[in-house]
Every structure is written in structure tokens, then in C-alpha cells.
Structure 1
Amino acid sequence: MMKQIKILFLLSLLFSLLAGCEKSKAEEGQKDDAGAERSRPFVVGYLFSSSDNLNAAFASLDLRHITHLNIAFLNPGADGLYKPVNRLATIVKQAQDQKVKILFSIGGGVPPPYLKDLLKPEKRSTLINELVKFAVDNNFDGIDVDIENEFIDENYEPFVLALSAQLKALNKMITSALNTWTGKAVSDKALAVYDIINIMSYDQTGPWNKERSGPHSTFEAAQADLDYWINTRKVPAAKVTLGLPFYGYGFGPAIAESFSYGDIVKQWPGTELQDQVEVPGQGTIYYNGLLTIRKKVELARSRKAGGVMIWQLLGDAPGDKSLLKAINEVLSD
């Protein structure tokens, strides 16, 4: 009998040890690709501001509702070098003190023309060294590569791979902002090194295409974008965020070309539950209201995406009309 009890005890102990190992493996699975603990989905927010207004713009943010903050855009000068940015290291520390990872973005939808030249082989090393130095000097958690459209050429992959190697050696992140219509230009090798891939699921049309008036960020486009990057390109879903617009575009004979979401709902009360506003005699504004934003966040969850991305945080509205608040309500359900 005692022999049987000892055997049962040993089996119980062995089972506990195995369960502990499985728990450790599960906990490891909750870490992101940069090694940080994942306690909640990614909520990546871009802050679009000039260097001169950065301090005031940052002070207006409520960082409790985001996990990552990307400062857009901090591009080097034409010589590939950076000039000091007032209080930048302080801003970085304040974000990190609130458990928010903070990166700076390079490139942009309208990047400085000289950036394309800096990516070429003869200038690439200088550019990368300066980018990494700027990240280290200001204690950023990483760099976001928002190189788009015709700037994604034969120099894109070698630049991304070389920048990634230096950042990973310093335990810093490298992320990207990508759109689907230029997806074929981005190699699998480049995709593989990114810690987060922010999918710009917006700007399907806009002021540059006045003949094609209508919504610029539909739910159907969000579905197609996630399908492309996760299923066609085989990017791990946990690395993908679905981009959400906090702005709208106007089409018509006498209407402004762009509006922040906050301005739309302030000027036309009640429109937070809509996706468009008809302005008599002027035109139509197309945007994403609360219901569509919620639906898109639910879509990202159902596809097991890493989370969502916001362009851009300053476009939100306060109180119960806040899109950021709605995003967090869905993610916390």
C-alpha cells in the first residue's frame, strides 16, 4: 500500500512540474517580438506634429489608452544628420513612465524628397548610424519605418535589414506602416524583421482623386487588407495592427478637403454615429464614426490581429464621442 502511495505521489509531482512547464511556455507566448510582456492588444497611436509644437501636442494626450506612441515625423536633414529637438528625451521618459513604448517615425506620406537619396548604398550606412544614434541619445524604444509608395524601391529591403540588425542588437524595436496597394513591393525578408506592421487601411481615395468621391476607409477594405497581409503574405497575425482613421475627407464644390473627426462631430452634432455628413451647397464629408470604428476593432479581434493603429491621435473628440475610448471599450470586453 505504501509503495502505491509513493508512486501516486511521484506521479502527482511529475504532473505538477509538467503543468508548470506548460504555463511557462504559455507565458512566453504572451511576449511580443521585442521581448516585452503582452498584457493587452496593441493600440498604436501616431502623434503627427511639427517639432516646434511637439511639447504642446504631447501634453494633450491621454496615454492610458495606448500601448505604443509613434512620433511622426522625425526625419533627418538633407545631410542625413539630426538636430536636437527641444525636450524630446523628457517626452520619451514621460511616455515610458506610463508604460507606453515610444518610437519615432521616419518617412511619411509626403516625405522629404532627399530621403530617397539617403537610402542609396553610398549614403545608407551614414543614415542608419545616425538614426540609431538619435534613438539611443533620446532613449526611444525603437524606430517606425513609414516609407511609402515610390520610395519603396530596390533600396528598401537592404535599408530595413541593416537598420533592424543594429536596433535588435540594442534590444530596440523596428516597426512599419504599410499599405496594401504597394504591398507587392515589400519583400518577405523585410516583413520578417518588423516587430509590428501597422496596416494603413485608409486613403483608398482622397483630395488627390476628386473624380472618385466617396468613403476612403471602408469596413470591406479593412477585411481585404487583413486578408492580404495575414493570409496572402503570411505575416503572423499577432504582428499586424489594423489602421483606423481619426479624420475624414471632403468632396464637393465648396468644402474643405480634410477634417479631423473631432472637428466634424463638434461642428455637426450627432454625426458621431454616422460615416458621412452632407453639407448643403458645399459637399460631403466621409469618415469613420463610432459604430464603424467599433466594428473594425471587433474585426481585428476576430482575425486575432495584434491590435489596432490610429492615424492620428490629435484627431479625436472628447468624452463619450471619443473614438479612442470606443476602441478601448471593445478591446476590454
Structure 2
Amino acid sequence: MPGDARLRAIAHAWSVSLARERRMAQNTVAAYERDLRQFLTHLDARLGTPTIPALVALKPRDVRAFMAARRADAVGGRSLMRALAGLRSFAKYLEREGHGTVAALGAVRAPKVARRLPRPLPIAAARALTEASLRMDEDRAPWVLMRDAAVLALLYGAGLRISEALGLARRDAPLPGTDAVTVTGKGAKERMVPVLPLVADAVAAYLAACPHPLPSEGPLFVGARGGPLSPRIIQYVVARARGALGLPDSATPHALRHSFASHLLARQGELRAIQELLGHASLSTTQLYTKVDAARLMSAFDATHPRAGRTTAPIPPRA
């Protein structure tokens, strides 16, 4: 990482604090580290070796120049917004540790980014993805097909993130007779999620067929050789299945979580309860599903109402 030895040491301490104190996800910490490294590389090329006094002395135009350079490299608005958030996090750490205030970062506005709406699957497609029978013609061990079906059942039937499902330990397996499972979400926050009988049955079928020993403290879901299951395997499974079902590229493992929320809302699920089930920190995130539901209603209206989307001549007034 560019910068003098003191700055590099503080950057390392900041990175450690993100993981240990703020309990940020590993991917988020890695992204923040990358954004800071790119910023310091940019400053190194324009202003010379970055130092803490040099950061404190930065002008807003220096930060805007970095953002413009990233935009010129075809970096999207969401990535720029995250980069600015990461740099501000580092600046707050500097100030907290008594190294001065990087005022320039607070004077630059974050780029406006339209929030993308979740893209849930139709109910029939979501159900099909969670059935092992869909892939019985594949040259894969039956227990592997059952494992994949159990993971996908947790994503759709319990609304889990893929990291939450694969993070379950064997001792926490939601089996028949279990009403709920406790999962660890973002920020190491735990929440309890109800377990449907079909989901518990899928997990039980996988455990009965799994040929590998599964220690109580070890992962519930394992790969072909018995090690922790990689999210990429589940992503690959869904990619093959969506080809068989004729689904769009938006049909991903995370789309099953979106489908869980959207289908609950469509059946009069209470928004605050859905927020708690999903583990959203803010209700505004969950409220995106109300926009999805409204968009679906309008689409159905346009497709079925006899006057929708038509242009007709005005009816003349009666004489």
C-alpha cells in the first residue's frame, strides 16, 4: 500500500478494527482496504508519497479528482459510493486516534445512486429450484443433490443469505420437530428464523445421505471431499438449474431470499415482521419489496385491463 511507514501501520490497524470492533463482513473489509489502496495510489501519482499530514491537508478538489478518475475507469456509482464510505471510515479512525481531521472527505457529496429493486422469482420457479428431482439426471452423487436442495430450501423457505446457510454448524441443523433456527447475519448479529417442515425434511434427508462425518462444531454443509461448502458451488448449481427452467440471469441464490420476502408480502405478510426475518438493520431496505409488489400489480393491470395502455379517441359530449 502506498504511503510512509506510519500511514501504512495506521491503515493496518484500521483494517483490524473494522473486523474486530465493528464486526464488518470479510468481503466489506477487503473492499474498504482496496478502496483506500486505490485512493493512496492516486494521491501518490499526483502529489507524491501520501502521509498523514498530507491527508489532513487535502482539498475537496483532490477527492473529486480521485472520484472522477475512477468514473473514467468505468467504475459505477454504487462502487464510488462505497469507496467514499470506506475513505470516510478511515478518516474517522484517524481523527479518533488523534491524528487530525481529513475535512476534504466530508465536503464531497456521495454520488446519487438509484436503489435497484429486488428481482424475485415466480413461486413455481422458486419451488422448482429447491427440489432435488430437478437435477436427478445430472452425473452427481444423490447425497450432493440432497445437500444442494437443502441449502436452497433454507434460502427460499427461511429467507437466509447464502453465507448464513453455509455458516450453520452441524449442532444447529434445523431438523423435523425444530420450530426455528438461529443464524448469524451481517455484523455478527444473531436472529431466530422459523423453520418450515419441508425445509427441516430437506435437511434431514441430506444428513441421512451424507457420507462424511459431521462433527457437532463443524459445518452443517460440506463439499464433495468433506470440507466446508463453497458458495460458488451453490451459485453454479443455480446457474445450471435456471438453464433447465428457462429462467433469466437474475435467478441467483440471493434471488431466492428476495422471493421469500416478496411472496410473504404478497400474501399479506407484515412488513416489520419480514424485516426481522430477513435481518435488515433498516426498515427502508425491507420497504423495497413494497415497490416490487406495486410494480407487479401495475404490470398485471396493464396486461389484463381492457383499457390499459390503449389510446382511444375522446368520447364526444352528448348533444
Q: TM-score range by the shorter chain?
A: under 0.3
TM-score, structure 2 normalization: 0.26
Larger radius of gyration: 2
| Larger helix proportion of the pair | 2
TM-score, normalised to structure 1, is 0.26
